[in-house]
Structures are given as C-alpha cells and as structure tokens.
Structure 1
Amino acid sequence: MVNDRTSLLDHLASRRSARPRDLVAPGPSPAQLARILELASRTPDHGKLVPWRFVVIEDRAAFADRLEAGCRAEAECHAAKIVKFRAKAFWAPTLVALVASPTLGHKIPEWEQQLCVGSVGMNLLHATHAHGYVGGWITGAQATMPAVVEALCAPGESIAGFFYIGTPALALTERERPDMDAIVTTA
C-alpha cells in the first residue's frame, strides 16, 4: 500500500464544514454511507469499548415530529419556532446521529470514552469529504430535547451530534483559523 502523504495533507487542508441547511442532493449512496460510517469507526478506542453508535435518520417526517414535540415541551415554544425545528429534519439529503454510548463504571473513564466519540465525529467528516461530499456537525437544543433523545438513545446514552451530509449549494469559504502563536506553547 502506498502512503500518499501529500494527498492526505491536501485533504486535511481542504476539508470544510457547511451549514446543514445549505446542503443539497446528491448525498452519498447507501454503499458510500456504509463506507463513510465504517471509516468513521476507525478511531483510537482504549479498551475497545466502542462507546458510540450511529443512527441513520431516514424517516424525516417522524424525526420532524420528534423535533416538534421537543419544541412544544419547551417554555418558549411558538409557531415560528416549531417551523424552524421541523425544517431541521429535512436539511441535507443524508442525516446521521452520532450517539455516545459509554460503558459506565468501566476502568476506562467516561471522559476518555467521550473523546473517542468526538474522534469518530471528526473521522465521519473526513470520510465524508474523502467521498466528495460535505458535512455539517451540529448539536443545538435538539440534541438534548427529551423527545428526541428518547427516540434515538437508550438509557445512559446521549446525542454527540447530528451530521448532515450532501453537496454544497453555495461555494465553501475559508473561516478564520486560530492564531497558532496563541495556542502553541512549549514546556
């Protein structure tokens, strides 16, 4: 196997996130999505606990109903907010929830398992980009709404994020990056 570091460096330098509502068809085929999720799972996992799982959200209408139920349970729910939350179910052609599924009480601390879940999320974005698509990772209020969590999670699990995958409707732009002098020190 040839290790083409130049291509990997170009990949890392060119990956961008997109606003999920700006993603359109086409999205990945079922085979491509399966490969994206497989690649996302290739992450450091101390103890081989696999403290994550994926939920591919195909029934968008049912998910919109869950988002609406979550909104209605909030104190400041109104018609415009319901419309906004329902719309989130239909952003992008592909929607995947990353669920944190830690093994509680294990010698591998939960915080370390959470780091693993975050690594899976980043790998998911990289695999999406490598397949020629763009992804957007969001959490937001919907990630903690009981109506949504109960639909997607087992007891003890939580939503690490929603990954919207598709083709950008708008040109992607570079965002401001951190000043490396401000975040790199030596010891």
Structure 2
Amino acid sequence: MMDIKALAPNAAVMDFLLTRRSRPVRSLKAPVPTRDELAPILTAAARTPDHKMLVPWRFIVLERPALQRLAPLVKTHGTAAGVDAQKVENISGFFGNANLVVAVVCAYKDCDDFPRIEQDLSAGAVCMAMLNAAQASGWGANWLTGFTAFHKGFLAEGLGIEGDDYVAGYIHIGSEGATPQDRRRPDIDAITDWVSS
C-alpha cells in the first residue's frame, strides 16, 4: 500500500502569492538580472503545466540594444496597421525605455488529440510563473502584450517569429523604481460557485 504524505504548508510562499503586485513598467530601471541571475527565473517559468510535455513555448531575451532597435519598428508597423497613435507611442516607449524584456513565444507543436488552446493556456501560465519567479527573486516585473504580440509583420521583422506563433507576453524585468499601492481585487464570493452534489 502506498504511503501518502501531505505536502507541508509553505506560509512564506502563500504570503508572497497573496500580496504579489506587478510593478509599473515605467518604474523599472537598471540594473537588470545578469544572464546567470535570469537563468533560474527562466527555469522556474518552464516548470509550468504542459499537457503531453510538448513545450509549446520558447523565450527570446531582449536586451537594451535589441529593445531600442524594436522601438521604431513598433511605430512603423503600428502606423501602417492604423493602430491608435497614442497606443503606438506608448508601446514604442515600452520597448525603447526598457532594459530587459523576455518575450514568451507561444510556439505551437503538432498534436492531433487535444485542442490548440491548451498550448495557449500553457504559454500564459509560463508568463505568470516568470512574473512570480522574477518578483520572488527580488526584481520588479510586469507582463504586457499589445498589438506587437500578434502583428505578423512586426513579429517576423522584429523577432523572427513566423506562422501562427505569437508572443503570449512581454515580461519586463528590472530594479524597482517605486512600489505601487495595491489595487482593488476581485470579491472571491462574487466569482465563486460551490458545487457539492
């Protein structure tokens, strides 16, 4: 007979999860994690639920020179696509003013026996895990998307992403310039149904 043991509670982790708060992108500054410091964050993010172990995601680490190269491409592709000028300016700034961004790419894998959305959900879970891992490591972090996550022209020219793949999230990581106040959170009772029979 198998000996079943309960996991020991980890109050520190639970407290972190109950109080975590994304940091505004504009407040993130240098220094940023080194490659050695980023490696465990990426490793933690990759320990994400992944049905059939397809690994339907990959990482593109964008350092400051790459981000500054991408900023004008945001304007070129955004303007051509008719994206609101203020949104284009904001997103261009998110690239051009950043010091380190990890693009989590949803990289679809062929699998006929379950829907593709499971790969999308896994890529989203990677983004959340990376956000938490960065903050648990003492860095400020934020998860953004915007039109550049899905615009095929920008993805191909800027990041070399082809086909149906897209960016599930741009995870901005850096030193905290400011700690924001918490925001209003959902009323758990209002969004929870208990089904007992």
Same fold (TM over 0.5): yes
Work out the number of aligned pairs and report it.
185
Partner amino acid for 2:170?
Answer: F
| Secondary structure, counterpart of 1:160 in structure 2 | strand
Report the Cα offset of residue 33 of structure 1: 1.0
Q: How does 1:95-174 map to 2 (within 5 A)?
A: 95-150=101-156, 151-152=158-159, 153-174=161-182
- 1:17 paired residue number: 22
**Alignment gaps of 5+ in structure 2:** 1-6
Kept in 2, the 8 Å contact 1:25–1:166? The answer is yes
Q: Distance in 2 between matches of 1:140 and 1:154?
A: 18
Change (3 A) 1:77 1:17: closer
Change (3 A) 1:3 1:66: farther
Partner amino acid for 1:116?
Answer: S
Q: How does 1:60-71 map to 2 (within 5 A)?
A: 60-71=67-78
Say whether 1:89 aligns with 2:109: no
Greater Cα offset, 63-72 or 162-171: 63-72
- RMSD, matched Cα: 2.1
Say whether 1:37 aligns with 2:81: no
Report the Cα offset of residue 66 of structure 1: 2.0
Q: Deviations over 1:26-59 (max 9, x none)?
A: 2212111121111100011110000001111121
Say whether 1:57 aligns with 2:62: yes
TM-score under structure 2 length normalisation: 0.84
Report the Cα offset of residue 77 of structure 1: 6.4
Change (3 A) 1:85 1:178: closer
Q: Distance in 2 between matches of 1:168 and 1:100?
A: 28
Equivalent pairs: percent with the same residue? 34
Change (3 A) 1:52 1:81: closer
TM-score under structure 1 length normalisation: 0.89
Greater Cα offset, 37-46 or 104-113: 104-113
Task: Name which one, 1 or 2, has greater alpha-carbon Rg.
Answer: 2
Kept in 2, the 8 Å contact 1:91–1:164? The answer is no
Report the Cα offset of residue 64 of structure 1: 1.3
Q: Distance in 1 between matches of 2:84 and 2:189?
A: 44
Q: Deviations over 1:115-156 (max 9, x none)?
A: 111111110011101110121101112222233221321312
Change (3 A) 1:169 1:38: same
- 2:82 paired residue number: 75
Kept in 2, the 8 Å contact 1:22–1:92? The answer is no
